[in-house]
Amino acid sequence: MDTNFLTPYRFHNGLTVKNRIVMAPMTTMTSFHNGMVTTDEVAYYARRGGGPGLIITGVANVEASGKGFEGELSVASDAMIPGLARVAAAIHQDGTRAILQIFHAGRKSNHKILRGEQPLSASAVAAEYPADSEVPRAMTAAEIDQLIADFAAATRRAAAAGFDGVELHGANTYLLQQFLSPHANRRTDQWGGDLTRRMALPLAVIAAVKQAAAAVERPFIVGYRLSPEEIETPGLRLADTLAFATAIRDLVDYLHLSMGSYKRSSLNDKQDTQPLLAKFAAITAGHLPLIGVGSIERPADAQATLDLGADFAALGRELIREPNWVQKVAAGDAASLRVKLSPADMAELAIPPVMQDYLRESFGEVIHFTTNARAVADYQAQLAPMEGFEKKL
């Protein structure tokens, strides 16, 4: 079988990556109350550094109002840099590159997480999922200017901490996606309106972040993650996100989809059975690399992801269960890959106790515990848990 995913990749700006396997961003829920890195978190990344070409961290908020859940990383102040530097160093083993994922949760937060403050968003419209989502406050023009500056400052801090790049989290219904979405964005000023106008905020953030990246004196990459569709009406449809991908394909260094299955086709248009990955690959080819993701467990899945047109294959849950995935496959030992998670292996896998709880409570059916007979195979034909947040955290 082909294992093209073990070949290196060179970005336009000269950054080289040793293979095409990416660790998908996965929050560990293990940071301190203020978003500072904990030693448990460093150990979790150290256990996984060295195999994948790229490791993308769990998401970090760029300002306090952007915190989406307890135990989330923060990159909102310079005080966070020393801890983040420990994460980058833990990832940087045997040439693995480190990417910090950055975001603002927007309306996907609540007043408890925000210590009494009302969540912010493009407009004062509550999310449909989960049903008890709070109504956010529409951001003022000054707050939007501040947000753009905060994304740039977060990028500067990521570089200072030694990361090789940042990923803008424009997926999973968080704030960047909220501005793009006709459901969350009902503004009538320069940041809202038709699709072109709803792209204005993500484009302004990309421009500011690229400017900060250009000031880094080594190759530093800026990736963008997006969710291909929303299921509410009004909501983002495939035509919107394909147009957005076209708009940014010469602006960022990679495009990363957020999907529960790399094979998935449209959620809204069941007649259209072409895999979404192939649709986005048609847009990214010759412009920028594409990262595919979703239920990749075996080498054949990673190869199939590349065969559909992706340049990288991101593994999420599988790298929780099997930190030595790349080393085993490279050694011809795919037979020993662990595709199930035993509760007895948690310590050996350096999974922090808070994350163990989170995996049991929010991902019990899909993390593939050896002890759970009701486990579902993959997230095919449904939103992945983080994509729509149907469970309240």
Which C-beta is closer to ligand FMN: that of 123 or that of 172?
A: 172
Which C-beta is closer to ligand FMN: that of 182 or that of 223?
A: 223
Q: How far apart are CA 379 and CA 296, in angstroms?
A: 11
Phi/psi for 230 (5° steps) reads: -110, 160
CB distance 60 to 35 below 8 Å: yes
Which C-beta is closer to ligand FMN: that of 234 or that of 343?
A: 343
- What's the closest the beta carbon of residue 72 comes to ligand FMN, in angstroms? 8
- What's the closest the beta carbon of residue 30 comes to ligand FMN, in angstroms? 11
Q: How far is CA 221 from the centre of its chain?
A: 15
- What's the closest the beta carbon of residue 343 comes to ligand FMN, in angstroms? 16
Which C-beta is closer to ligand FMN: that of 110 or that of 305?
A: 305
- What's the closest the beta carbon of residue 57 comes to ligand FMN, in angstroms? 8
* DSSP alpha helix (H) spans, the chain: 39-48, 81-91, 141-160, 175-180, 195-198, 200-214, 238-248, 276-284, 299-307, 317-321, 325-330, 353-363, 385-388
Which C-beta is closer to ligand FMN: that of 125 or that of 171?
A: 171
The one-character DSSP state at 341 is: B
- What's the closest the beta carbon of residue 392 comes to ligand FMN, in angstroms? 15
* Omega of the bond leading into 130 within 30 degrees of 0 (cis): yes
Binding footprint of ligand FMN on the chain (CB under 6 A): 24-27, 58-59, 101, 169, 171-172, 225, 258, 260, 293-296, 315-318, 363, 384, 386
- What's the closest the beta carbon of residue 370 comes to ligand FMN, in angstroms? 17
The position carrying tokens 């901490």 is 161
- What's the closest the beta carbon of residue 341 comes to ligand FMN, in angstroms? 11
Q: How far apart are CA 196 and CA 109, in angstroms?
A: 26
Residue 200's closest CA among 156, 141, 258?
141
Which C-beta is closer to ligand FMN: that of 220 or that of 224?
A: 224
CB distance 93 to 43 below 8 Å: no
Beta bridge partner(s), residue 312: 291
Backbone CA torsion sign across 296, 300, 305, 306? positive
Which C-beta is closer to ligand FMN: that of 138 or that of 175?
A: 175
Q: Among all residues, whose Cβ is closest to ligand FMN?
A: 316
